[in-house]
Amino acid sequence: MSERMRQDDKRGKNRPPRSDKRPFKGKPKKWDKDARSDRDKPRDDKWRKDKSSKPFKKRDDRDRKSADGRDFKKRDFDNKKRFDRPRYDAPRDDKAPREERGPRPSLYGFHACREAWLNEARTIKTLFLTEQAEEDFAPVMKEAYEQGLKRPSITTVEKHTLDRMLPRGAVHQGIALIAERLDEASIQDFIIKSKGQDKTVLLMLDQVTDPHNVGAILRSACAFGADGVIMQRKHAPELEGALAKSASGAVEHVAVAYETNLSRTLEELKENEFFVFGLDERGEREVGDIMRNNTKGNHKIVLVLGAEGDGMRRLVKENCDELVKLPTSGALSSLNVSNAAAVALYALCK
């Protein structure tokens, strides 16, 4: 044999091809799926010569044992009546389809439910209370009875039941109720009301969608005496749930108008002698100078606030008569939209 043939033999070039009938030696490799000790034997019992040997079983079909020692096979899991275990983590109502949830509480929290319970314009269907919350809510029920309000009887529930009925993480304080929505206000209501007042202050929220921020703004509007809030119908949260909880009952006292086009709404308000200010950090004057130096000499004001980050949209900003800013001078010149609304309302309504 020549030297080259010896080298090729070492490299494996002259070796005969591996036959499938070659006996298997060693542990099967992961890459060799067909490497089994009985690989040369047919797997079909019909053609098997040695009837005494058992056919090869797949791993999933082998017998297993449960935790309590019972023998069962994989197909036994299909028997739901036999192996059905109790559900300790039943699905919550907020994950179920809307048509299967049933009536859900629209308001929760002590202050939100208290103001709704004492509001004669609010129609309440069901009141849910835990045993601990019944004692705290008893004076409110007595006050409503003295006022002659028609209210339903209470429904006592457990705390975990309220947790399942409300969204995850809701701080309900052991009280929730199902109530109908309040009647919406309109721009014409604000215009008519302004004719009999010396000063009218309205807030307009341009795509402020966070319910916690909107609820805090409604609370500030109620505290400082604003006459109403205007929001876009498409990009605005509903006046219930987390918004009403953050507002602490201000939903029952502040009129809210939903409009489709805020730019046209501003044009209509300006035609009725309203002066529109947009709150922007690039404004020339401060918000406190509005009441002292009003260019039109009237006290019909609309204050527009934009969403955090993006601010007011272009068309809404163009329809503002003037841009004003807050008197901030610290390292952080911007505030949360709800905090900015509280500072601006204090300057306008004091």
Q: How confident is the model at residue 329 (pLDDT cuts 50, 70, 90)?
A: confident
Which class in CATH covers the domain with range 187-349?
A: alpha beta
Query: Residue 220: what pLDDT?
Result: 95
Q: What percentage of the chain exceeds 90 in pLDDT?
A: 45
Q: How confident is the model at residue 282 (pLDDT cuts 50, 70, 90)?
A: confident
| CA 126 – CA 273 distance, rounded (Å) | 44
Query: Residue 17: what pLDDT?
Result: 55
Please check the confidence at residue 163 and state whether its pLDDT lies above 80.
Answer: yes
Q: Whose structure tokens read 């629209």?
A: 106
| CA 150 – CA 238 distance, rounded (Å) | 25
Which CATH number among 1.20.1250, 3.30.1330, 1.25.40, 3.40.50 corresponds to the domain 99-179? 3.30.1330
Please say whether the beta carbons of 6 and 13 come within 8 A.
no
Query: Residue 223: what pLDDT?
Result: 94
Q: What is the pLDDT of residues 231-255, one digit of tens each?
A: 998 878 899 999 999 999 999 999 9
**E strands present in 34-133:** 64-65, 71-72, 107-108, 124-129
Q: What is the pLDDT of residues 294-312, one digit of tens each?
A: 645 568 999 999 987 778 8
Q: What is the pTM of this model?
A: 0.69
Range in 92-101, 158-167, 211-220, 227-236 with the lowest mean pLDDT: 92-101
Please check the confidence at residue 86 and state whether its pLDDT lies above 90.
Answer: no
Please check the confidence at residue 187 and state whether its pLDDT lies above 50.
Answer: yes
Q: What is the pLDDT of residues 196-208, one digit of tens each?
A: 888 899 999 998 9
Query: Residue 94: what pLDDT?
Result: 47
Q: What is the pLDDT of residues 100-120, one digit of tens each?
A: 455 789 999 999 999 999 999
Q: Token pair of 28, please?
A: 């099967």
**Which of 94 and 132 is assigned the larger pLDDT?**
132
**Which of 235 and 209 is assigned the larger pLDDT?**
209
| CA 350 – CA 340 distance, rounded (Å) | 15
Query: Residue 92: what pLDDT?
Result: 47
Query: Residue 119: what pLDDT?
Result: 93
Please say whether the beta carbons of 279 and 325 come within 8 A.
yes
Q: How confident is the model at residue 6 (pLDDT cuts 50, 70, 90)?
A: low
Across all residues in the chain, what is the average pLDDT?
78
Query: Residue 285: what pLDDT?
Result: 87
Domain boundaries, the chain: 99-179, 187-349
| CA 324 – CA 241 distance, rounded (Å) | 33
Q: Residue 154: which of 141, 165, 167 has the closest Cα?
A: 141
| Beta strands 175-179 and 124-129, pairing class | antiparallel
> For 48-64, what is the mean pLDDT?
49
Name beta bridge partners: 178: 126
Contacts of 66 (CB under 8 A, 6+ apart): 72
Name beta bridge partners: 279: 324
Range in 64-68, 265-269, 309-313 with the lowest mean pLDDT: 64-68
Name beta bridge partners: 304: 204, 278
Q: Token pair of 255, please?
A: 């009129």
Query: Residue 198: what pLDDT?
Result: 86
Query: Residue 253: what pLDDT?
Result: 94
**Which of 213 and 11 is assigned the larger pLDDT?**
213
Other CB atoms within 10 A of residue 248 CB: 19
> For 332-345, what is the mean pLDDT?
87
Range in 14-23, 160-169, 327-336 with the lowest mean pLDDT: 14-23
Query: Residue 103: what pLDDT?
Result: 74
What is the DSSP code (8-state) at residue 31?
Answer: S
Q: Residue 107: which of 45, 160, 206, 173 has the closest Cα?
A: 173
Q: How confident is the model at residue 9 (pLDDT cuts 50, 70, 90)?
A: low
